Structures are given as structure tokens and as C-alpha cells.
Amino acid sequence: MTMKLSELKSHDQIADGRREADPEYAAEADRLELADAVSRAVVRYRSEHNLTQTAFGNNFGWKQPHVARLERGDVTPSIETLQRLARAGVVEVHIEQERTYVQELASA
């Protein structure tokens, strides 16, 4: 069976469907929302600036495995990590009563 490209679902559509159907999945996705956003921001920043994980990490005094953990998106970053990324112009951090989130900043 052949599927047309127009019939394919995006990652977000699949994740939204799973969230609605599986409360445990939804809870875990909520828990990792911040980590996932930081992951995407770091990957995009590195890509736009043609940096390896090692080169990116050197800008922050981090070793490559630390950058790899951030990019994996399965551990919520520390406040110190968020502060460093914000000061470097990688993300903007918003802390609100209901949630904490990051916004990717436009590349230079």
C-alpha cells in the first residue's frame, strides 16, 4: 500500500492524538516540555551557527556530553543552565505561576 505525502501526519499531530488517548503519556510529555523546548533551541542554534556539540559547549565551559544530554531532551535543565543559555542569546526564559517555558531567540 502506498501512502501519499499529503496523508502523512506531523509529529505534533501524532503526539496530540496520543496525549488525548493516554493520560500517562500526557503527564510525561508535560513533565518534559521544558527539556524538549531547550533541546530544540540548542539544536537549532548549533545548526544555524555551524557549531559542533564540543564547540558549543566550550562557549559555556561544558563538555560535549553535557550538550548531548541537553539535546536529548529527557532531563529538565537546571536554572543555572537556563541562565547561561539566556545570557548567551540562545533562549529567553519565562517563569510563570502555571509553567516555565523557553522561547527560541532569532539567530544573529
Spatial CA neighbour of 19 closest among 32, 6, 7: 32
What's the CA gap between 42 and 91, in Å, rounded? 8
The pLDDT-based confidence of 30 (bands split at 50, 70, 90) is: confident
What's the CA gap between 106 and 48, in Å, rounded? 10
pTM comes to 0.78
Alpha carbon of 58 to those of 3, 40, 68, 78, 90: distances in Å?
A: 45, 19, 13, 18, 14
What are the tens digits of pLDDT across the range 35-68? 999 999 999 999 999 999 999 999 999 999 999 9
Alpha carbon of 86 to those of 5, 27, 102: distances in Å?
A: 38, 27, 9
Mean local confidence (pLDDT), 13-36:
89
What's the CA gap between 77 and 96, in Å, rounded? 17
Beta strand segments in the chain, E: 91-95, 100-104
